Structure 1
């Protein structure tokens, strides 16, 4: 703790010097306020506020707030954002001024469509691996069965790999799915998938902003070692009542939003449900043994925001979603119900202490639950698992001048893990399966971050985070025969911990630093380093993320994951910033990774700790990411390519030899294009190519004591066939453009309904991509020449779809 305390004191001293120097600089005035959409009242994050005479400015933060401190004088101040008309105001600044502005969307955007944007300039910011996605553009891209999916869209970015055919899971720079921090209005989402991974839980109609950070993670984020996916919900139209929705092949959506008190309080409610079960029901014979089987998922988002005053705003949001799968076989007398899903709540308070000091306080609740309930005749069995979080976060943002921003705060999370809870009964007899297993823990993070210009060309972002994790009772430790941590305890015994008693704690410093050096007006070099601890782990028996995967805390057996990442990049703009390009190199070290031991089975958790089945190891990944983007114009989009390598080493796996991770993918290419033909037609095109995933398949098979025995030489010894696919989409707006123009320029003349039709084709050239492999045999058993043979199973052929979207 002495070194940690010394480091924190050193950081505070450096920040004190920087802050003191800014206080004694030339006397200045401050211009601050919020930037919003004139048609909806929604705040706009990333809008540029530029003072022309000084050639300086700032972007609005995630809550639409900006603050500029400049010498007193007369200035032309411009407010701009992609897809909006630039607003310029002549201001005479002699005192501090709070100025809220509204930007008008462009009535027809055929000349300035955008697919992907970044919060700050490609060459100006210190951001590495940080990308914002425009939700409107996501909706224009081709989608599986017409279901727009945020998580599938981020898979098109360099450094991000998909979990497999049609899967919404993603891996970032060689990290596992549990190493991605997924936030919805600051609440953690632990399982972001519907339909066993084929669709995400995020309804695009309810989403305001999507931000992915895969490189230098700011100090304000913690708890994961690979990436952050930060998703914000819309706040609701505070100007007028609005209904949006869509009807597709497998689901329908409906969103209601509007003012409760005009320009002061608004709401939004957005719902989505599939109707696979409803469509199939007429075709299932009621006398069939499988009558009563079915599957559907649904989700609901809701949010209320209230502007208490110019200094205080309150937001309350919630999410609830479920997958419901039921199976019935009357002939076998077997039935099963498998519900799983997430729920979350978030209460946020924004407060302005002054025009330079902004505070955001969040209280959130997050819950993920999986349950399996099965019955056969009079035998009943159930299995439950899940994780529940209660958290408090507070952040202060200080803006002493346009070239200096300071952030600091803390966050606290109380975790309740339920890795396994099994019950069984037969008639009136209850079986003892060990009862409910739960783990309780506290996680705390404190951070300080400072971004400032050392010179006109050199900008630094320096942050320090200290995190602490404590696993506490009540808890029962089951001691196995060979556990190094319990050499003083007899094997096959238990150790009991009372409620609140410390089982094991961990903590450490997490420095983060990034810099930008501007070579000239069009290009810059950036470098960064980050160090992270991760105290929660996902244990899975499958290569893809499934609802049966188990979340576990760090314990007296499981140490926290630890990661270091180094980044170096070159960024350049072309042709008046219409084209942007970058090359990023990265290297990542990962320690204390977890995997199930060979032969582990879920039933082994009964009367045992789940972490007793785990083994531990290390890994590393490195790669190069190439990104070329055309931001503006009728034709826009990007091309991304990644070359990478990801390796693992576990003493208890693969005889201790290094092996490629299942996330290892040498080549990954994505092409994403959008084209606006005219006011009525827009087109989208995507193409992806990726090296096949690494899997383990037997090299020999022989028959022994009445059964086949497989022999493996190396872990992940086989590559699946390369994955490639092309998709296209066309969106037709019968009256949308004209309606939108009238709505903006001639209020009161808008038609009652606006609509569009999206036609898409998934897997355009019918590529049979591998979903999984299974092993059969070739040869004659009697002759003793049986050999294993792998057979590929493909999932999706060419799939057309159509979706009708409406608004009134």
Structure 2
């Protein structure tokens, strides 16, 4: 740990003391950019200095800083979908200047319309690649199942992103599994982002401001997952006026309230929603099922307090739960809870800091409430964390970011209680503790008008702690079989004793070379390390899957990814964005399972796990239309993801269960007139891999299907494709009360997409043949089209 700490501190001291001394004749312009209608900060807004033919952008909190020689400048502030504002600013000393922009439909008197060419879009100028940003106004236009806007389903329409099918929890990015994605809600991790077994996400669209998905080139400030970072930011609350919005849909109702507690000083937002499938179904249930429940709810809230020009405090939280109860026979619930406290502090014109502490808890419970089958099973994972992030704006062409973080993990893999007449005995797996630390530093540097770099280093550490229990080690008896306990090396762990310590350097690098004003070539490399693992041997992760830390037997996963991309915008106003990216990723210590693995409530879970390597590579093509009545995008992904684990598939490479070589997405939105807008999406994906038997044998008169050559994922289910349609009609009652009716049809041509295919035996009526025959049965989550209507309102 000593060397990387010294390296980072040395770099910081150099930047703080040497570089400022070389720029004493310069002054700094800084401030925030916000939405004029509600005071929301603008993330990634542009500040363009005409005289320099360049500028900067705001950070994730809407703050900007740019250091210039003393003088007079024409500065243009702009943000997509808003009217630009150009002002002449004379800089004789450091100046703080915050800007508010109005939407394009509401021209403000201060706006100066200029004939100068616009600054190029960030997708061309930025060093970032493999990144997609989505605004909520775009997401809300996309047709959705049951008419409910959904963040995760919108993410699945981006290139390089897939899922294993309808009803599947989470998403897969560039060949990674579900747990390879770090999903953050206001900096707090969300471990299960799905409601109703994957049909909806936990993110209420009325509470979300925007999101950004990193598929590669992940900033050094983030780590802990292999494949992607989904950064979701909640609204900060309207600082100008109180506003109420919501919707009444086919299966759920939403309500959101936001406004100022003290105008332009303190604001809040509270958003809630609940499904009512159980309420609608109750009149049709039999008496023994009258007490059944099937619903989910979530509640989001945030307070934003601007103490003064240099200090702002944010406090946000989320709580959500799914509840399933079938009469008095079975009950099941799961949910997330997060809480985040952040403090933004401006030390000076050049140094911006954000201090964060958060809490995250994911838990589930299932069981039978009474009788001889009575039991209750609970499990959860809890995080407590603190982190500090700093942005140091050296010059307009050089920004240095650095920081540190610490996370405490508590894993409670399972506790079962019986009681009374129950046939089940109470048992509890030992809890597990771990600590994860990280320090990082990165620099974004524009070497010339054509060439810019973003490079950095993250150093992560993971400390697996004991819990007054036996410390097991395992040895391989035969590759692919259950591992045996190494009786000679049994040990005992004291509580909080450091059992196994891991550390890894995680370099990050990206470069942008501009071929011309609207074309750039980018390349990136990043290494990521993941110290916690989701244990699931099903194709789609489920709410009862178990999270476990890296231990003395289970090594952290490591991935190295390189990518190369060509980015080009077309049209006078960058009407079209186009990109082509290729990537190659290698993965170490990938988890797979022995045949017939017992993963639930297994004290010796690690004996069921196998470890190997993986690789993923592909091509992503993307065309997006930004302007005009017709907007949308088309993407095509050609990819392959494979694993090689000794003991599986005869030790040869095999495609992973997330492999979908061809993936096509078409999204279109059309403004028909002032009242009506139309939308449609079409998706096509190669069927997911599956293992089918290639032979059979007879046992006690039964025909048993068998895979004779021990192959893995050698077959596929049929391809997946679906068309969704949507139409929105504005139904405003007055200028203050706005309403709209949203009509949608999910799976418009009633495609019976298979989620899985199972083999079942059936009696053969042909007396001259085998007494049993084997039939393949297809399970489709949706076997028909699903129409829906939702009424949204705002006042």
Query: Could you tell me how far apart the structure 2 residues matched to 1:671 and 1:785 are?
Result: 49
Q: Give the structure 2 partner of residue 585 of structure 1.
A: 582
Match of 1:367 among 361, 371, 376: 361
Contact kept, 8 Å, 2:536 with 2:599, in 1: the verdict is: no
CA-CA distance at 1:7 after TM superposition: 10
CA-CA distance at 1:430 after TM superposition: 7.9
Query: Could you tell me how far apart the structure 1 residues matched to 2:426 and 2:120 are?
Result: 56
Query: Could you tell me how far apart the structure 1 residues matched to 2:486 and 2:586 are?
Result: 36
Q: Give the structure 1 partner of residue 673 of structure 2.
A: 678
Query: Could you tell me how far apart the structure 1 residues matched to 2:348 and 2:767 are?
Result: 82
Change (3 A) 1:781 1:654: farther
CA-CA distance at 1:240 after TM superposition: 0.7
Q: Give the structure 1 partner of residue 218 of structure 2.
A: 217
Contact kept, 8 Å, 1:686 with 1:728, in 2: the verdict is: yes
Matched, 1:734 2:728: no
CA-CA distance at 1:436 after TM superposition: 3.9
Secondary structure in structure 2 of the residue aligned to 1:377: coil
Q: Give the structure 1 partner of residue 178 of structure 2.
A: 177
CA-CA distance at 1:693 after TM superposition: 0.4
Describe the superposition over 1:285-304 as per-residue Cα deviations: whole angstroms up to 9, x where unpaired: 33xx3332221000000101
Query: Could you tell me how far apart the structure 2 residues matched to 1:257 and 1:119 are?
Result: 34
CA-CA distance at 1:375 after TM superposition: 4.2
| 1:660-739 alignment runs, 5 A limit | 660-705=655-700, 707-712=702-707, 713=709, 714-735=711-732
| 1:733-752 alignment runs, 5 A limit | 733-735=730-732, 750-751=735-736
Q: Give the structure 2 partner of residue 280 of structure 1.
A: 281
Query: Could you tell me how far apart the structure 1 residues matched to 2:469 and 2:33 are?
Result: 54
Secondary structure in structure 1 of the residue aligned to 2:154: helix
Contact kept, 8 Å, 1:476 with 1:494, in 2: the verdict is: no
CA-CA distance at 1:478 after TM superposition: 6.1
Q: Give the structure 1 partner of residue 794 of structure 2.
A: 807
Q: Give the structure 1 partner of residue 116 of structure 2.
A: none
Change (3 A) 1:806 1:119: farther
Query: Could you tell me how far apart the structure 2 residues matched to 1:338 and 1:646 are?
Result: 34
Structure 2 unmatched runs, 5+: 108-118, 478-482
Describe the superposition over 1:703-733 as per-residue Cα deviations: whole angstroms up to 9, x where unpaired: 3135543212421121111111111111111
Q: Give the structure 1 partner of residue 654 of structure 2.
A: 659
Q: Give the structure 2 partner of residue 69 of structure 1.
A: 67
Query: Could you tell me how far apart the structure 2 residues matched to 1:760 and 1:123 are?
Result: 35
Q: Give the structure 2 partner of residue 790 of structure 1.
A: 776
CA-CA distance at 1:51 after TM superposition: 1.5
Q: Does 423-432 or 504-513 show the bigger shift?
A: 423-432
Q: Does 351-360 or 66-75 show the bigger shift?
A: 66-75
Describe the superposition over 1:498-532 as per-residue Cα deviations: whole angstroms up to 9, x where unpaired: 11111111011000000001111111111111011
Q: Give the structure 1 partner of residue 114 of structure 2.
A: none
Describe the superposition over 1:722-768 as per-residue Cα deviations: whole angstroms up to 9, x where unpaired: 111111111111238xx6xxxxxxxxxx43x1101111111111111
Query: Could you tell me how far apart the structure 2 residues matched to 1:201 and 1:637 are?
Result: 25
| 1:78-227 alignment runs, 5 A limit | 78-107=76-105, 121-167=122-168, 169-227=170-228
Q: Give the structure 2 partner of residue 561 of structure 1.
A: 557
CA-CA distance at 1:783 after TM superposition: 3.3
Query: Could you tell me how far apart the structure 1 residues matched to 2:379 and 2:403 are?
Result: 32
* TM-score, normalised relative to structure 2: 0.93
Number of equivalenced pairs: 773
Query: Could you tell me how far apart the structure 2 residues matched to 1:719 and 1:672 are?
Result: 26
CA-CA distance at 1:29 after TM superposition: 1.4
Match of 2:598 among 597, 601, 618: 601
Q: Give the structure 2 partner of residue 503 of structure 1.
A: 499
Contact kept, 8 Å, 1:167 with 1:199, in 2: the verdict is: no
Change (3 A) 1:8 1:589: farther
Contact kept, 8 Å, 2:475 with 2:484, in 1: the verdict is: no
Change (3 A) 1:245 1:428: closer
Q: Give the structure 1 partner of residue 309 of structure 2.
A: 310
Secondary structure in structure 2 of the residue aligned to 1:437: coil
* TM-score, normalised relative to structure 1: 0.92
Contact kept, 8 Å, 1:528 with 1:566, in 2: the verdict is: yes
Contact kept, 8 Å, 2:518 with 2:568, in 1: the verdict is: yes
Describe the superposition over 1:637-666 as per-residue Cα deviations: whole angstroms up to 9, x where unpaired: 111100001001111222322111011111
Change (3 A) 1:446 1:775: same
Query: Could you tell me how far apart the structure 1 residues matched to 2:431 and 2:121 are?
Result: 44
CA-CA distance at 1:555 after TM superposition: 0.5
Secondary structure in structure 1 of the residue aligned to 2:203: coil
CA-CA distance at 1:99 after TM superposition: 0.6
Describe the superposition over 1:661-692 as per-residue Cα deviations: whole angstroms up to 9, x where unpaired: 01111100101111112222111111111100
Query: Could you tell me how far apart the structure 2 residues matched to 1:347 and 1:618 are?
Result: 39
Contact kept, 8 Å, 1:481 with 1:492, in 2: the verdict is: no
Q: Give the structure 1 partner of residue 35 of structure 2.
A: 37
Q: Give the structure 2 partner of residue 438 of structure 1.
A: 431
**What RMSD over aligned residues (CA atoms) do the two structures have, in Å?**
2.4
Q: Give the structure 1 partner of residue 252 of structure 2.
A: 251
Describe the superposition over 1:403-438 as per-residue Cα deviations: whole angstroms up to 9, x where unpaired: 1110000111000011122222343998353x2421
Matched, 1:768 2:752: yes
The structure whose RCO (Cα within 8 Å, separation 6+) is larger is 1
CA-CA distance at 1:566 after TM superposition: 0.5
Query: Could you tell me how far apart the structure 2 residues matched to 1:386 and 1:422 are?
Result: 13
Change (3 A) 1:503 1:81: same
CA-CA distance at 1:700 after TM superposition: 2.5
Q: Give the structure 2 partner of residue 744 of structure 1.
A: none
Q: Does 564-573 or 776-785 show the bigger shift?
A: 776-785
CA-CA distance at 1:624 after TM superposition: 0.5
Q: Give the structure 2 partner of residue 113 of structure 1.
A: none
Secondary structure in structure 2 of the residue aligned to 1:280: helix
CA-CA distance at 1:18 after TM superposition: 10
Describe the superposition over 1:756-802 as per-residue Cα deviations: whole angstroms up to 9, x where unpaired: 11111111111111121111246569733755332212222111111
CA-CA distance at 1:159 after TM superposition: 0.6
Change (3 A) 1:108 1:74: closer
Contact kept, 8 Å, 2:513 with 2:520, in 1: the verdict is: yes
CA-CA distance at 1:317 after TM superposition: 0.3
Contact kept, 8 Å, 1:268 with 1:302, in 2: the verdict is: yes
Contact kept, 8 Å, 2:391 with 2:399, in 1: the verdict is: yes
